[in-house]
Amino acid sequence: MSAAPKQIPPRAGFEWEKLAFDLYPTSGFAKYVWTAETGEWGPVEWVKEPYLNLHVGNVGLNYGASVFEGLKAFRHADGHIRIFRPKDNAARLNHSADAVSMPALPEELFLEGVHLAVARNGDLVPPHAPNAVNGSLYIRPLMFASGANLILAPPSEFTFIVYVTPTGSLYGAAGTKAPAIDAFVIEKFDRAAPRGNGSAKLAGNYAPTFKHAAAAKKAGYPLTMHLDSATRTYVDEFSTSNFLAIKKQADASQRKTLVVPESESILKSVTTKAIIQIAKDFGWAVERRRVLFQEVKDGLFEEVAACGTAAALTPVRSITYHDSPETTKKVSIGDGENAGPGFLSILTQLTGIQSGVQEDKHDWVWPKAGVDGSV
């Protein structure tokens, strides 16, 4: 019989009530290196300083060969720490890596690196609270082409690291509290081309949205949204997260219907996968299809939400778009102010599973016994 994993208590004196979505000092990060000479990933190295020593000609910085993931660890009521759906992130990392000619990373190495980074920084996992209202430990696996090349070709070295930071909510939503926010449609910039790499979590997919998001935020819109690049008539996703909607019901006797946009340009969110399953568990219908933006304009959705690891499930109360080059129109969703009951029920169940207060029927939390602080 194997020994029980060693518990790691929360750090004493940390001001958990002030936890923001930010980077905090940690005990270090896990690092692996792949070389063409061996054709495989080397053993893990623990790096205490938050820095990397790189050749100026590394392909990651010069040509953008960099991919990443985001997932979270939560403290349960038994004091143990568990991670939400890391195997799904391992699979998506390899999908992204393939898009930019990187070697595949074995799932067991991904899990080893994630477990080690969490275990050695376990004191930065916030204290347990139902529905994770105290926050979580955000985990950032990152793979990039660390070898140098001047020609446009993969180098002979790649690096995979896992670092962490304790975080609060990206948009101010925590646990069962989810203040609805306003979104703005970006129409002068395309996030991903048709048949491009929108479905891969490439570092280069995000930086081009910064200035557009900053301008929207300055105008009062915390969230920005993208339509399809080919016709600009279909909903793709928000800049930080997936788009989800609940259809309006003709009467209360109808089943609720969760609508999930389908597109080759949409990043396949692990959180969205969980929400789809939760909706099915609730007995809702689920429509996975192309979603015309005209459906939003026509007010066919009673609720809309942004969904992702960082965003969690953030209700959207309005979407504003340009109806002409000079003027805009605002579509109010629900009562135009607050989060709706449908997504609040989903959020309560999701964060309940993550924090261990709801049954984990689908084996989403890992490891079952908890992260072992003795590693």
Residue boundaries of the structural domains of the chain? 16-168, 181-353
- Distance (Å, whole) CA 220 – CA 244: 22
- Distance (Å, whole) CA 66 – CA 141: 11
Which helix (DSSP H) or strand (DSSP E) does residue 349 occupy?
Answer: helix 341-355
pLDDT digits (tens, 9 = 90+) for 321-364: 999 989 999 999 988 888 899 999 999 999 999 999 999 999 99
The partner residues of 33 in beta bridges, in order of sequence, read 159
181-353 is classed CATH 3.20.10.10:
yes
143, pLDDT greater than 90: yes
Residue 297 DSSP SS3: helix
Inter-residue contact 205 to 240 (CB < 8 Å): no
37, pLDDT greater than 50: yes
> How confident is the model over 166-172, as a mean pLDDT?
75
Q: Is cis: bond before 43, omega within 30 of 0?
A: no
Nearest to 291 by CA among 266, 274, 322: 266
- Distance (Å, whole) CA 69 – CA 114: 11
The position carrying tokens 């950032």 is: 140
Inter-residue contact 176 to 315 (CB < 8 Å): no
What percent of the chain clears pLDDT 70, i.e. is strictly above it?
97
- Distance (Å, whole) CA 34 – CA 159: 6
Which helix (DSSP H) or strand (DSSP E) does residue 97 occupy?
Answer: helix 86-99
Position 170 scores a pLDDT of: 65
32, pLDDT greater than 60: yes
> How confident is the model over 75-102, as a mean pLDDT?
97
The CATH topology of domain 16-168 is: D-amino Acid Aminotransferase; Chain A, domain 1 (3.30.470)
Indicate which residue of 201, 217, 247, 268 is catalytic: 201
Give the Cβ contact number of residue 40 at 10 Å.
Answer: 10
pLDDT band for position 249 (cuts 50, 70, 90): confident
pLDDT band for position 171 (cuts 50, 70, 90): low
Position 178 scores a pLDDT of: 67
Concatenating the DSSP letter of every residue in 136-186 gives EEEEEEEEE--SB-SSSS--SEEEEEEEEEEE--SSS-BTTB---EEEEEE
Task: Write down the mean pLDDT value for the chain.
Answer: 94
CA angle 346, 178, 128 (to 5 degrees): 80
Residue 72 designated active-site: no
In this structure, the strands spanning 285-289 and 257-261 are parallel
pLDDT digits (tens, 9 = 90+) for 281-310: 999 999 999 999 999 999 999 999 999 998
191, pLDDT greater than 90: no
195, pLDDT greater than 90: no
- Distance (Å, whole) CA 295 – CA 319: 12
